[in-house]
């Protein structure tokens, strides 16, 4: 699968795809000046962006991109632990694959395996027009 990264949110936030498998995506993102909130901690919105990106890439890998397109429909996130620097890793797992929606569970952890954010994302799958 060809993923456009130039001039995207992925590039702006320093996200990188580690692995893409059917039903599973692993991505990383730095905790630095691009992803911190004004008080020096990882911005919750950056975590949500990472979670939705991982789920969206995972969903795209499971559909026929010639005839279908997918978009984030809903996302929630529980920010469990703060982080000031380093790298966070998102692991997105498909927990439901329907005809028109997919549900993904995304855990974002730090280098020590500590849970930073737990998210669930629903992806809409539509026919291309």
Catalytic site positions:
52
Query: For residues 76 and 119, is the Cβ–Cβ distance under 8 A?
Result: yes
3-state helix, strand, coil in the chain (%, to 5): 15, 50, 35
Alpha-carbon span 57 to 43, nearest angstrom: 21
> Is the dihedral angle over the CA atoms 60, 11, 112, 52 positive or is it negative?
negative
């Amino acid at each position: 699968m060809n993923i456009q990264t130039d001039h995207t949110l992925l590039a702006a936030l320093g996200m990188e795809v580690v692995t893409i498998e059917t039903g599973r995506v692993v991505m990383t993102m730095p905790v630095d000046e691009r992803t911190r909130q004004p008080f020096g901690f990882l911005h919750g919105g950056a975590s949500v962006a990472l979670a939705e990106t991982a789920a969206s890439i995972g969903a795209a890998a499971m559909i026929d991109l010639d005839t279908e397109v997918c978009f984030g429909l809903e996302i929630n996130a529980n920010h469990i632990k703060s982080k000031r620097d380093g790298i966070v890793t998102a692991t997105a797992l498909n927990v439901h694959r329907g005809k028109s929606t997919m549900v993904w569970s995304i855990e974002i952890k730090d280098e020590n395996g500590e849970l930073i954010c737990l998210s669930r994302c629903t992806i809409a799958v539509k026919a291309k027009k």
